[in-house]
Amino acid sequence: MRNLGVNSRLKPFGATIFAEMTALAVKHGAVNLGQGAPDFDGPEFLKESAIKAIRDGRGQYARMTGLPELTKAITDRFARTSGLACDPERDVVVTCGATEAILDCMLGLLEPGDEVVLFEPFYDSYVASVAMAGGVAKVVTLEAPHFRIDEAALRAAITPKTRVMLVNSPHNPSGHILDDDERATVVRIANEFDLVVISDEVYEELWYETKHRTLATEPGMRERTIVLGSLGKSFSLTGWKVGWAIAPAPLAQAVRAAHQFASFCAPTPLQAAAATALSAPDSYFEEFRAEYRARRDLMVRGLRACGFTCEVPQGSYFALADHSAYGFDDDFAFCRHLVEHGKVAAIPPGAFYHNKSKAKTLARFAFCKKLETITAALDRLSEYRERYGSRG
Ligand code: PMP
Ligand code: GLN
């Protein structure tokens, strides 16, 4: 009998940690600070806009590259935030979430055996997407607690087969935003080795003190950079799965070459609503950030009060905490114990590492939650600390 199971490219990845931890959260009745999904709804004007699109009969396939009003809204907003002018007809591909865009980039760009530089910890789909496209991931470690790019470590990962470098800022799971030195390093290496840079900027609106700036504005980067965005993050609608890639024509064409066969198009009514969303006034984004800043501050203060060591994330909606005070050997053991006995779900960041031992003392808490959810989780963590906190 032939092998009916998962193929060898995907077998090593098993089940994604997000499905596993969400299932455990449900099983144990835990407050779920695992998967990065808000427990509140996106803005009313956006829901109304999607409902209107459905009522107006916009129920058929969209243009493959994205609805014209959406690709225009994407380039308009990008021009406002970055100062870069792009052609909405040529330089944008709308995808089913940024997750599809990442896969499309790999499928559209890589020849078998081409190498892709990834920085760990990374969103878990990166490495699976490289594998699905027949590429080879070369992993550079960002060392805790600051998760900065080290130029020597990056140089050591480059070979004549390196084709792509994938950079993520604001960063999941650390919340780090690339500083000027790191940006200069990325630019130097990309230009020196003629790399394509995939710049995952899905948390572009989730910065707190230092404003996010796209990498595409740096010298020599425009023509080699694919910028990824996601409606789900900036409008708290992760389940809508509307994402996009912005790139100069030849790179956009590579992404599109895969996208046309991967999904062909993202759902039409949601694209129509996304166009409305991106035309929101600056005040929407300011308020959005202020709400998230309050969530972040509550989360970090609470984690510290419960004995965790935790840097203040500069962006994204994750707090990466050190759980050494609880005396567990590794992050999976800690997170499994916490979800069962503390009734709080977090993500063991080993899922984001090749070198899993680097994550042993860490746990990721998502704070894209109502303040009362965060408070409830912190109450439970504080009880958990009383029962188990003296093990460390
Ligand atoms: N990149 C990063 C860094 C992410 O954290 C995520 C999802 N949380 C994505 C991409 C995928 O975004 P989407 O939900 O739009 O597929
Ligand atoms: N990227 C989200 C996170 O880091 C989850 C996405 C997913 O569930 N695939 O939590």
State residue 277's pLDDT score.
95
Q: Which residues pair with 321 in a beta bridge?
A: 310, 363
Query: pLDDT for 77-120, tens place per residue?
Result: 999 999 999 999 999 999 999 999 999 999 999 999 999 999 99
The domain that holds 330 is classified in CATH as: 3.90.1150.10
Q: From ligand 1's centre to the CA of 69, what distance in Å?
A: 23
Task: Determine if ligand 1 sits within 6 Å of the CB of residue 129.
Answer: no
For residue range 47-77, list pLDDT tens digits in order.
Answer: 999 999 999 999 999 999 999 999 999 999 9
Looking at the 3D structure of the chain, how many domains does it have?
Answer: 2
Distance from the alpha carbon of residue 85 to the mean position of ligand 2, in angstroms: 30
Output the average pLDDT for the chain. Answer: 96
Distance CA 127, CA 58 (A): 36
Same domain, 220 and 287: no
pLDDT-based confidence at residue 279 (cuts at 50, 70, 90): very high
Say if 344 falls within a structural domain: yes
Ligand 1 and 88: CB distance under 6 A: no
Cβ of 232 closer than 6 Å to ligand 1, yes or no, is: yes
Give residue 14's pLDDT band: very low, low, confident or very high (50, 70, 90).
confident
Ligand in nearest proximity to the CA of 239: 1
**Ligand 2 within 6 A of CB of 35:** yes
The verdict on residue 48 lying in a domain is no
Q: Tell me, in angstroms, the distance from the centre of ligand 2 to residue 367's CA.
A: 13
pLDDT value of position 4 = 84
Examine residue 3 and state whether it is found in any structural domain, yes or no.
no
Query: 364: which 2 tokens?
Result: 């990721």
Residue 50 token pair: 């999607």
Separation CA 356–CA 120 (nearest Å) = 10
Is 12 part of a structural domain of the chain? Answer: no
Starting at the edge strand that comes first in sequence, how are the strands of the sheet with 318-322 ordered?
Answer: 309-310, 318-322, 362-366
Whether 362 and 232 map to the same domain: the answer is no
171 and 77 together in one domain: yes
Residue 1 falls inside a structural domain = no
Residue 139 lies in a domain: yes
Q: Is the pLDDT of residue 390 over 80?
A: no
pLDDT tens-digit readout, 205-264? 999 999 999 999 999 999 999 999 999 999 999 999 999 999 999 999 999 999 999 999
- What percentage of residues in the chain have a pLDDT greater than 70? 99
How far apart (Å, rounded) are the C-alpha atoms in residues 177 and 183?
A: 10
Does residue 32 form part of some domain?
yes
Q: Is the CB of 238 under 6 A from ligand 2?
A: no
Task: Provide the residue range defining the domain that includes 288.
Answer: 17-42+283-391
State residue 2's pLDDT score: 75
Between 68-82 and 268-278, two packed helices, what is the crossing angle to 10 degrees? 30
pLDDT at 392 over 60: no
Alpha-carbon distances, residue 262 vs 13, 123, 204 (angstroms): 20, 20, 25
The CB of 388 under 6 Å from ligand 2? The reply is no
Same domain, 242 and 291: no
Among positive and negative, which fits the CA dihedral 202, 205, 207, 210?
positive
| 31 pLDDT higher than 90 | yes
From 226, 246, 280, the end of a domain falls on: 280
Residue after which a domain boundary falls, among 245, 280, 315: 280
Point out the least confidently predicted range of 11-15, 121-125, 180-184, 279-283.
11-15
- Considering 280, 312, 330, which residue would you say is the last residue of a domain? 280
Residues 189 and 66 in one domain: yes
Looking at residue 383, what is its pLDDT? Answer: 96
- 230: CA distance to ligand 1 center in Å? 7
Give Cβ neighbours of residue 340 (< 8 Å, ≥ 6 apart).
Answer: 24, 28
pLDDT at 285 over 70: yes
Binned at pLDDT 50, 70 and 90, residue 3 comes out as: confident
HSE at residue 238, side-chain half, CA atoms within 13 A, is 13
Atom 9 of ligand 2, nearest CA residue: 18
Distance from the alpha carbon of residue 192 to the mean position of ligand 2, in angstroms: 33
Q: What is the pLDDT of residue 21?
A: 94
pLDDT tens digits, residue range 366-388? 999 999 999 999 999 999 999 99
Q: Which atom of ligand 2 is nearest to the CA of 22?
A: 8
Same domain membership, residue 327 and residue 265: no
CB-based contact 349:380 (threshold 8 Å): no
Ligand 2 site, residue 122, Cβ cutoff 6 A? no
Q: Six-digit token pair at 298? A: 């509550």
pTM exceeding 0.85: yes
Mutating to test ligand 2, I would choose from 100, 231, 238 the residue with most ligand atoms within 8 A of its C-beta, which is 238
* Short-list 223, 254, 281, 292, CA closest to 111: 254
Are 301 and 360 contained in the same domain? yes
Q: Is the pLDDT of residue 24 over 80?
A: yes
Same domain, 229 and 299: no
Question: Under a CB-based contact definition with an 8 Å cutoff, are residues 34 and 346 in contact?
Answer: yes
Asked if 342 and 383 sit in the same domain, the reply is yes
Q: Is the CB of 350 under 6 A from ligand 1?
A: no
